[in-house]
Structure formats: structure tokens, C-alpha cells
Structure 1
């Protein structure tokens, strides 16, 4: 493809669950019956261009589609659309986009997708007990044989939904009885909670120790379990429960409201700057109700809940399975909220208690970007006896390396080397003439000092701000594989938004983590900085 014409098409639209773009495929992952539209951006555009979608269906070349020029006047976007229609399950579609301009042909790379199919839970073949686990096996659907496994362990009920064989054991001894060939009861010896299973037509209910029904499989107009299979290892699953609960609390950080009933919260770490609504940075797949039960879904993948939104008695959970994560694990917790929360933390780990000063009032402003202004605010705090415990300096760094004070004078080092405070000189007329002296004065006012941080390797120098040290750092990080990489081995760059085109540090790499903190170690060891305010950094959305 020539350099002077670009064809932008990203089928999954960056996998951002909230944003849809003028260069993606709709829907991103089609199933049988979906009407498929391909969108692409051609730049620069001229009316003389001829834009085509060349494509094949199951290896057979099809008639090209002529692109329809579309203008979105609301968003100010211009793009081409190709309506290629609906397809049958397992169809394989391959395509690329061609632009004919002044006798030259410009071509995108080739893309493809396979068409998924929706499946529903069939009849129960058998119910068995093995290793203290009750297993419900369903008839084979396509190539998959769904199983539901239930067992009480350590005061909770675990439900495992899997479409492949898994080896699980339960150490707890619990009461299991067969009423008849169609009716089974499983009782927890610790809490007294019990599970009742009806074989055909399949149904289960979960009861408390007094026999009250807390939760059950959905039995009305929707199937309890259904899934979409894309025949490449990816499966989207929908699980539905019937409930009388009117209050659903939890789900981690929330901006909209405390009781999530009637809403559809999802679990996706998302850095929404303003107007957050349901988008949140610290979502948790856990909730509890007023009816003495709660639920935790053990998954690091995208989840979406429906809490009595579609129907007043429906809890729906949508999740994703793949070859790495072939099962969905749910924990039903019993008791009052305090007990449910304690049991939840016993599963996930108890948080460490922050120091006392972290719970006091914090002072911060983006406009406090000089030493003079910081000390002015500290003086005002003392004058008016404001009981603050923390002062955050947001705009302190060079906005490039993010670990060197703005206006500092120094000799650059190799990307592998770290700095000490003595490596820097500061002008009396600069923004930060004496960072150490300033921090000492802050500490004398009984304040802790926190510096702003963000876990990226910036790309500002491409916009005209060249920083030799930053260039050294970026080159070293890329060479050593310290940043998040694409599948083809190239560095992943944030595609849009805040700090677009920047690199992300791979904190799962111990060497990368050590390198990152060594660059900032002097701030703690030489300047006695008390901590860092870590800002948004999760700009990766995958298809899992």
C-alpha cells in the first residue's frame, strides 16, 4: 500500500465496549442472522476515488461491493460503508478494501471472520456425585457437552459452568440424598443451606437453612443457559437466575447509584474522565442482596449483568469462555452482609490497611505547578488550621519522563541507568528551585507528600518536544521488551484518547517493573517522597 493513501479498518474497533468507531465491523463478532456492515476510513479522500470491498465466502470469490460514502454530521466523521448482509453458521468471510485513485490501486491487508451460532441447553442426560461434587450432564449440543457442577465448600456454594471436562475435587463432606430418579437434594453441613435439583425438565433452587428459596435457575420465557460459539475457541455465555431480591449492592466503585437493581452493570476496567455513569475504574464481579445471599464470579474477563432490567425477577450474567478459560465459576455466599463480605474476602484476599494518614483530607490542584505555589498553599493551610494529612503535587514533572522535576538541568544517561538527586541542578528562577528543601518544609507541617504518576512511556517528543533522556528510555524499554507488545512483536501504542501513541509498561514482567521503579527510586530514597498517585493507565481492550 502506498504511503500517500491510507485505508483504516480495525474490525474489532479496539474492543472498546463503550465506543464504536467509523472504521470497524458491525457487529464485531457476527452470529447467524446478523446483518454485517464493514466500515473504513480512506485518507485523503477525493470524489474521483473508486472504493471497493473485495471478498470471498468460504473460499469462493464474490461480486465486489462499492463503498457508500457516509457523513456523520453529529460526530463530524466521514467513512465508507459496505453492506455485505447476513450469513450462515460457520461461514468464513475474507475481505480487503481497495481504493483506485488516479490509476493507482491501494489495498488494505486481508481480514476475515467466521460466523457464530447460538445454542441452548438441552435435556439432562444424568446427575451424578463424585468427589463430593454433584454434576449435571446435558445432552451434547453441536460438539460441546455442557456440564453444571455444584458443591458446598467453606460456607459457600460453588457453581461451575463448563463446556469441556474439568477435574475438580471438594474436601468438605456434605449431605446428599436422592428423593427419586428426578429429584436430588444436596445440603451444606456448615450453613444448613441446600440445593435442590430437578432432572427433567431441568431446574434447581437454592434455599437457606430455614427452607426459604433464595435463588434458582430461570424457568420462564428465557433459557437458563445459552451460548454463542464462534468455532475458534471463543464462546460467549449467558446464565440466568430467578430471584425475588429488590436490592443489589456491590460491584466495586460506582458513580450512578448504590442499589443497582434495574441496571446493567458490567465488569470492565475503564478510564472514563468525566460523565462516568456506569463506567468505572475499579469494578468487581461481586454483589449481595437483602435476602441473605450474595454472589461472586471468579473471572478476569469482561462480564455484564442484568439486574431485573429486562424482567423484574431476572438476574442475567453474560461472560466469555475460551481455551485459556474454559469454565465460568460462580460462588453463592450466605448470611448477613458482614458475613458475606468476610467470606468474599476469604476467597479473594483481605486488603492491607492503609496508614492512618491516608484517611485524612488530601490537598491537590493541577494549577499548583511551582514550588512557590505549593509553599503558598501550605502556609495558607497552617494559617486557617486545615487538618489536611496529604499534599498531592500533580504537575511536578517534565511531562515526558514523568520521573524528573520540570526545569531540572542534568546530563542524560543510558536507558538502563538510574538517577540520584545529586545528578540534578535546579535554577533559583525555575519552577522547582529546591525540591528537597520544599519536601522537608512540607513534612514539617505534618503533611505527607504524594507525586502524580501514570504508567506509560510518553510520546510527546513526536509532537515537537524532544527529550534526550526520554528517547533513551523508550529505546531501551522497546529493546528489552519492557512494554506491552502486539501479537506481531511490535510495541503496542495507545490508539486514541489521553496520551495517544504512547507505550504501556508491562508490569507483569519483573525486569520491566524493576527498571521502572529504579528510575523513580531517588524520589523516595533521596527526597523522602511518601507515595505516588497513580493515574489512568488501562488502555487495552482485548476480545476476552
Structure 2
């Protein structure tokens, strides 16, 4: 869908005096744009504005506590939805449907629930939770009895197919005029996202910024904080559209593809919420001390563009200049084939400088076979796209394939034996939406998970 390609075709046709060919090229592009746009939004309309597609949860028909989980049989239009509420031992409040997200707490705290005719009240260390049966709502109170936030009446909706399967979810909440909403992972514009529309869908920004996708980033996260004193984590890797007071200035709205509804809420300080969140999702390893010292580095093309036109010579020259200037550094980013140079690695080792390389998952089937000669072609960890041509053209590693780990190990063996100390791991997010992973999951569901696996395996 890169705009430059049809633009070139249209301009070429017009220069040749063939307006009918230009119109055909434009029509082809517009048909593709319509198809992609419908797939991009959760209800197939720009901005998810088809109200008739959504069924709000209106009441709780049945409620019971079992295994430290409060289960609610709810009505959403003419459909039935099961919702569950639990208190993870790691902290916070979890509200989820039968189709759960990736992160699940290892243990649950005991539920202290008191049921009334029209409601149910749960007490927690951070306050209390009040569930109203009809109309359905869930209110979260802090320890001093102040209502911090809620899932209000008609504010949680689902989109169903003809068989009653959930296709998408819709969560709306009140937004005060002075309320700050911040988070969502990496952003390029501002701290407070109040007044913005965001797409939470990891994309390679080197490419998408040139395609006009101004509201996507490399490292988006479905986690946000409110200045009213709560934090929310949407535990799903399906694409999210977050409208923070744009369409309706009094509300924020999160619409999301897929059958997963799995939200975590934290009432209290951001520091405490983040401790709980990272206890649930995992914490990064502590890098060695040298990683916190200054580095030097350039891309492969920049190293080759130096006066000597020799990447190894350029890197050695730069290091010597830094030594002359008395500027300390601990590592050099040596993108490109020069990272494989024994001479470069020996030069840097003698100076106590770590060499860092580059990895991206484009590894052709022929090269994979050279690393894994005992595997049959069908067992190679090749990512399968919409068709064989796309699969062959992309030549991506499928990190959900169990053989991917050994492939990466063989890929890195030579460099690690030379002493290479680390690497950039790139392009784990550049997966076509029609791809299906080895574990059977679609790109829509597991694109972010695949990027996570690529980093984990390379680590």
C-alpha cells in the first residue's frame, strides 16, 4: 500500500497520454485501500462508527464465586458474555472474558465478596469494587471511599459474528476536561495523550513514517495511566485504536480486534502499579556495567562511505581518533559484514572495546538449510505468508517454530566465537497481516508476541 508505487504508475500513464490506464491504476489502488481500511478498523468503518455493530453489556444474569474468581453471566444485546473478576497475587484487579490474554497471574488472592439483591461488593487492600447487576456497571473505589474510575453502563461492548463468536471489543470511559492520560509505550509527540487518536500496532517506523501513519510507533504498549489515580493494562496483542477525547471530548474509547477481553486495573500510585505490572509481565535483565558507558557506531552504509571506503579501516580510525582526544567509550556498533572480521574484533579486544552487530530475520530457505542441514525443507522455520511468492520474497524466520532457536544459535556461532558482545535485533515487527505462524496463530493475534519471541530467542 505504499503510495509512491501507484503514483509512479499513474504519472507514467499520464505522461504517455493514456488517461484510461491512469484511471485503472487509481481504481486498483482505491479498491486495495478500501479493503485494507475495512480490515484496519474493528468494525470495518473509519473510526469504528457503526453503532449497530456493537452490543453493550447491559446486565448480569448470574453471579458466583468459585476458585477465588467472581464469574458473571452477562447479557450483551441478544448475546451472552461471560466475564470474570479476580485479584492477582501480583496486585491489581483483573477483569476478563472466556478468551484470555497472554499474561496470566501465577496466583490469586482470596475474594471477600458480599452479595446483595442488586449488587456485589468486594473489598481489597486498595479499596473496594462495586458491581451493579442491572444496569451493569463496575465501580472502583480507593481506601478513603472515593470512586476513582468505573466501567459504566453501556461502556463495555462486543462485536459478534453470526454464530455468536466475539470479533472485537469496545471499552469506553469518562474523561474529565483536565484529566491527563499518559503511557501507551513509545510516543513521538507529547506526554499527555488527551486529545489524540493512537493506533497500538507495532510497525517499523523507518517505513511507515514515509507512508503517512503518523500515530503508530515501534514500541507501543496497551498500558496507560490517568491523573485521576489509576492505571489500565489491556492484555491483548490485537490492534487497538485509542481515541482519547477526540470524537467525544468527554470520553476515551479503546476499540480492538479479536475475541480477547482481558483488562487489568490498578488503583493508586503509578510506582506501585508499575511494580505490579512488571511482576506480572516480567522484568528486563540487568545489563553489564560497560553497557551504560558511551558507545560509538554508525550504520553499514555510513561506515562504507568514509574516506577509505573500507568499513574495518574506518572503525579502527575512528577509535584511534577518540583515543587521541581522550574520550572514553566501551563499545562500537559495527553494523554490516565488518562485524565478522577477525582483524576488527582483535583490534577492539586489545582496547577493551565491545563489538556489537546487527540481526534481522530475513534468512532465505537456502541459507537456513545451510545452517540446519539435517532438517527437511518443510521443517525449516520459514514464516508462511499469503502465498508462496510472498513467503519466498520475504524469507522471514518464524520464531514460533521450535527450530528457530537452533537457527539463531548457528547464525551467531561464528560472531560469538570471535567475541561479539551483542546486537541490535531488528524487524521482528515487520510481519505481513496475512501471515500465519507455525503455532497456528494469525498475525492479527500474535504479531507483537512474535516480535517478543524474536528478541527472547536472540537474547
Structure 2 length normalisation: TM-score? 0.73
- Structure 1 residue 508: deviation in Å? 1.9
Q: 1:81 to 1:487 in 2, by over 3 A?
A: closer
Q: How does 1:342-491 map onto structure 2 within 5 Å?
A: 342-366=275-299, 367-369=302-304, 370-396=311-337, 435-457=341-363, 478-486=377-385, 490=388
Secondary structure of 1:372's counterpart equals helix
Q: Work out whether residues 69 and 85 of structure 2, in 8 Å CA contact, stay in contact via their aligned partners in 1.
A: yes
Other-structure match for 2:391: 493
Q: How does 1:285-296 map onto structure 2 within 5 Å?
A: 285-296=222-233
Q: Work out whether residues 306 and 316 of structure 1, in 8 Å CA contact, stay in contact via their aligned partners in 2.
A: yes
Q: 1:385 to 1:313 in 2, by over 3 A?
A: farther
- Structure 1 residue 356: deviation in Å? 1.8
Q: Work out whether residues 176 and 187 of structure 1, in 8 Å CA contact, stay in contact via their aligned partners in 2.
A: yes
Other-structure match for 1:518: 410
Q: 1:172 to 1:258 in 2, by over 3 A?
A: same
Structure 1 CA distance for aligned equivalents of residues 214 and 129 of structure 2: 37
Q: Work out whether residues 371 and 407 of structure 2, in 8 Å CA contact, stay in contact via their aligned partners in 1.
A: no
Secondary structure of 1:285's counterpart equals strand
- Structure 1 residue 487: deviation in Å? 6.8
Structure with the bigger RCO (C-alpha within 8 Å, sep 6+) is 2
Other-structure match for 1:282: 219
Other-structure match for 1:153: 88
- In the alignment, is residue 305 of structure 1 matched against residue 242 of structure 2? yes
- Structure 1 residue 528: deviation in Å? 0.9
Structure 1 CA distance for aligned equivalents of residues 64 and 3 of structure 2: 46
Q: How does 1:330-341 map onto structure 2 within 5 Å?
A: 330-341=263-274
Q: 1:503 to 1:474 in 2, by over 3 A?
A: farther
Greater C-alpha radius of gyration: 1
Q: How does 1:156-175 map onto structure 2 within 5 Å?
A: 156-162=92-98, 171-175=108-112
5+ residue gaps, structure 1: 1-12, 14-18, 24-40, 46-67, 86-115, 398-402, 406-434, 460-467, 495-500
- Structure 1 residue 145: deviation in Å? 0.6
Structure 2 CA distance for aligned equivalents of residues 356 and 123 of structure 1: 55
Other-structure match for 1:258: 191
Other-structure match for 2:37: none
Other-structure match for 1:133: 69
Other-structure match for 2:262: 329
User: C-alpha deviations, 1:73-96, integer Å up to 9, x for none?
Assistant: xxx85627779x9xxxxxxxxxxx
Q: How does 1:171-320 map onto structure 2 within 5 Å?
A: 171-178=108-115, 180-188=116-124, 191-219=125-153, 223-231=154-162, 233=165, 235-244=167-176, 246-273=179-206, 275=209, 277-320=214-257
Structure 1 CA distance for aligned equivalents of residues 182 and 130 of structure 2: 26
Q: CA RMSD in A?
A: 3.9
- Structure 1 residue 69: deviation in Å? 7.1
User: C-alpha deviations, 1:175-233, integer Å up to 9, x for none?
Assistant: 3224x422332111xx24211122222222111111111111235xxx31223223374
Q: 1:537 to 1:123 in 2, by over 3 A?
A: closer
* Structure 1 runs, 4 residues or longer, greater than 4 Å off: 19-23, 80-83, 168-171, 468-479
Structure with greater strand share of residues = 1
Structure 1 CA distance for aligned equivalents of residues 192 and 72 of structure 2: 34
Q: Work out whether residues 392 and 449 of structure 1, in 8 Å CA contact, stay in contact via their aligned partners in 2.
A: yes
- Structure 1 residue 146: deviation in Å? 1.5
Comparing 195-204 with 272-281, which one deviates more in the overlay? 272-281
Structure with greater helix share of residues = 2
Comparing 119-128 with 251-260, which one deviates more in the overlay? 119-128
Structure 2 CA distance for aligned equivalents of residues 518 and 393 of structure 1: 20
- Structure 1 residue 273: deviation in Å? 0.4
Q: 1:224 to 1:234 in 2, by over 3 A?
A: closer
Q: Work out whether residues 492 and 504 of structure 1, in 8 Å CA contact, stay in contact via their aligned partners in 2.
A: no
Structure 1 CA distance for aligned equivalents of residues 407 and 241 of structure 2: 37
Structure 1 CA distance for aligned equivalents of residues 206 and 170 of structure 2: 30
Q: 1:254 to 1:387 in 2, by over 3 A?
A: farther
- Structure 1 residue 477: deviation in Å? 8.3
Structure 2 CA distance for aligned equivalents of residues 374 and 248 of structure 1: 44
Q: Work out whether residues 477 and 483 of structure 1, in 8 Å CA contact, stay in contact via their aligned partners in 2.
A: no
Q: 1:153 to 1:198 in 2, by over 3 A?
A: same
Structure 2 CA distance for aligned equivalents of residues 482 and 492 of structure 1: 15
Structure 1 CA distance for aligned equivalents of residues 73 and 4 of structure 2: 42
Structure 2 CA distance for aligned equivalents of residues 446 and 77 of structure 1: 58
User: C-alpha deviations, 1:8-57, integer Å up to 9, x for none?
Assistant: xxxxx7xxxxx79999xxxxxxxxxxxxxxxxx99x99xxxxxxxxxxxx
- Structure 1 residue 157: deviation in Å? 1.0
5+ residue gaps, structure 2: 14-19, 35-51, 305-310, 434-442, 446-459
